[in-house]
Chains A and B, each alone.
Chain A
Amino acid sequence: MNGSNRDDRFDAATRQQHAIATTRLSARTQAQLQQRRRAVLAAQSSGQPSRRHFGWPIAASFAAVLALAVGLQVRQQSAPSTAAQVVADSGDELDTVLDENPDFYVWLASSDANALAME
C-alpha cells in the first residue's frame, strides 16, 4: 500500500516537472517537436508497413530531442546565478590582474624568485 502511494506521488511529481519543463521550451523547439509528433502519428495512421517499421526509432528520437531541449533550457536558466557566484568567489583575483606589472608576475614564477623563498 505504502509502495503504491510512493509510486503515485513519484508519478505525479514527474508529470508536474515534465509539464513545467515543456512550458519553458522556446517556440522554435515546440514547433519542431509538434512537427515530429505529427509525422509519427501520420505514419502510424497510414498503416504502411514500411513506415510502421520506423515508429519506435522516431518515437525514441522524439524523446531524445525533448530531453535535450529541456536540458538546454535548464542550463540557460541557471547560467546567470553561476556567473554571479564566480564573480563573488574571485573578485579579488580579478583586481590583481592589472594591479602589478605582468613582468613582475613572470619574475615571481622564475627560478630567481623561487630561490628567494619569500613565503
Chain B
Amino acid sequence: MRLVPTLVLALWLPCCAIAAPPPASPSAPAMPAWEQLTPAQQALLLAPVRERWNENPGERERMYQHAQRWHDMTPGQRNRARSGMRRWHHMDPQQREEARALFGKMRTMSPEQRNALRDQWKAMTPEQRRAWMEKNAAP
C-alpha cells in the first residue's frame, strides 16, 4: 500500500509546480526533492491522502486501482493525464458529468462511431444534451 502515497506525490507535485502562483519574493527558498524532506514534512504533505483514505473505506479499492493505473502508464500518458486533470479542474459539476458520460460512451465505440457522436453532440441544444445525459449518465 506504499504505492498510493508515493505515486500521489510523484504525480501531484509537478502539477503544483505548474498551478502554483509565482513565489512571493525572489529570495523564497525552493523546496527540496522528496528524499531530502524530513519525515515530518513528508507526513504533512501526505496528510490529505491519509485523511481521505481513512475516512472513505469504500473508496480505497478504487483509489488503489487508479494509483496502480498511474503507475502502469508511460511517461507520455502521464503527461497527457496531467493535462487532462488541469482541464478537469476548470470544469463545473455539470460539465464534469457530461465529460464522464461522454468518456464512458466513447471508450466502447469505434472511431467512426466516436466521430458521429462528436458531431451529434456539437449540434445538440442544451435540452437535447440533458435528454442524452439522462439516457447515458456515467455509472
Contact = CB atoms under 8 A, between A and B. Distances in A.
Chain B interface SS verdict (over half): helix
**Interface size classification for chain A:** 35 or more
Nearest to A101: B66
A94 interface: yes
Contacts of A102: 66, 69-70, 73, 77-78, 81
Given A78-B29, A79-B31, A100-B88, A109 B121 contact: no
A19 interface: no
Interface string B22-44: 00000011011000011011001
Interface string B112-124: 0010001001100
Interface residues of B, number: 55
Given A94-B12, A95-B52, 8 more contacts: A94-B49, A98-B63, A102-B70, A105-B85, A108-B87, A112-B114, A118-B99, A118-B102
